[in-house]
Amino acid sequence: MTTPLPGPPRRTLLGTGADLGSRHRVYETAEAVELDEASGFTMIRHRVFYDEVILVTQHALVGWPLAVALGALALLVGGMAGVVAMGDALWGALGVGAVALLLALLMVLRITIKMEAVTVYGKRSRVQVSFWLRRRKARAVFSRLCARVLQAQSSAAERLPSAPVLEPPGEPRL
């Protein structure tokens, strides 16, 4: 009887984000939090291992980049509505104006309803994942990551050698 080969370790997508130059996706795996940062056509992977985590934080923040982008878009579409209105196309202007109003409303919502960010600081790198309108999920992720870190560090401490540690040998004397 043959035993099936073990499949790849599962990664669960925690969240995604983007800034001006790159997009990133954060995954949770059995041994680390993984950050896939894509810029151009290449993706670079960073890992913060649970047994190296120093600090996990959760805080609220305003998602300014998207709010500013929405505001700029609302101004642009509003301007277009003004131009359409000057051309005596009232219904068209009302339609375009409604879109501008919707964008402005989204901007206000983005500013008033804050994002929740969970940051995991390791010894060598850090990963941040943000959630908007999903406060409960952010809390669940924060708790789950803390539990995973605690478990990983407890088992790592148990594996530590109890025997006296000797210094590594130096260069051989000829």
Partner 1 sequence: MPSRGLRLYAGPSCPACRTPFDLTRLTSGVQHCPACGLRFEAVRFRPAERRADVREVGAAGPKEGAACAAHRRNAAVAWCERCGIFMCALCRTEADGRTLCAACFDRLAAEGTLQSTQTRHRDYVGLAWIASAVGFMVCFAGLVTGPLGVYYGFRALRQMNEWGDVGGRMRAVGAMVAAVLATVLSGATLAAILIPSLQRAAR
Which residues make up the interface to partner 1 (CB under 8 A)? 7-13, 16, 21-23, 25, 27, 36-46, 51-59, 61, 117, 119, 121, 123-126, 128, 142, 146, 149-150, 153, 156-157, 160-161, 163, 165-169, 172
Distance between CA atoms of 10 and 1, rounded to whole angstroms?
26
Nearer to partner 1, 131 or 142 (CB): 142
Cβ at position 122, least distance to partner 1 in Å: 8
Nearest Cα neighbor of 64 from 33, 103, 99, 19 is 19
Total residue length of the chain? 174
Cβ at position 154, least distance to partner 1 in Å: 9
Cβ at position 60, least distance to partner 1 in Å: 8
Cβ at position 127, least distance to partner 1 in Å: 11
User: For residues 107-121, b (16+ Cβ closer than 10 Å) or e, as one string?
Assistant: beebbeeebbbbbbb
**Residue 34 CA to its chain's centroid (Å):** 10
Q: Assign residue 45 a region (left: φ > 0; alpha: ψ between -120 and 50; beta: otherwise).
A: beta
**Residue 81 CA to its chain's centroid (Å):** 36
64-86 vs 90-112: helix axis angle to the nearest 10? 170
Q: Reduced to 3 states, what is the DSSP secondary structure of residue 40?
A: coil
Nearer to partner 1, 87 or 172 (CB): 172
Nearer to partner 1, 87 or 168 (CB): 168
Cβ at position 51, least distance to partner 1 in Å: 6
Nearer to partner 1, 11 or 134 (CB): 11
Nearer to partner 1, 16 or 76 (CB): 16
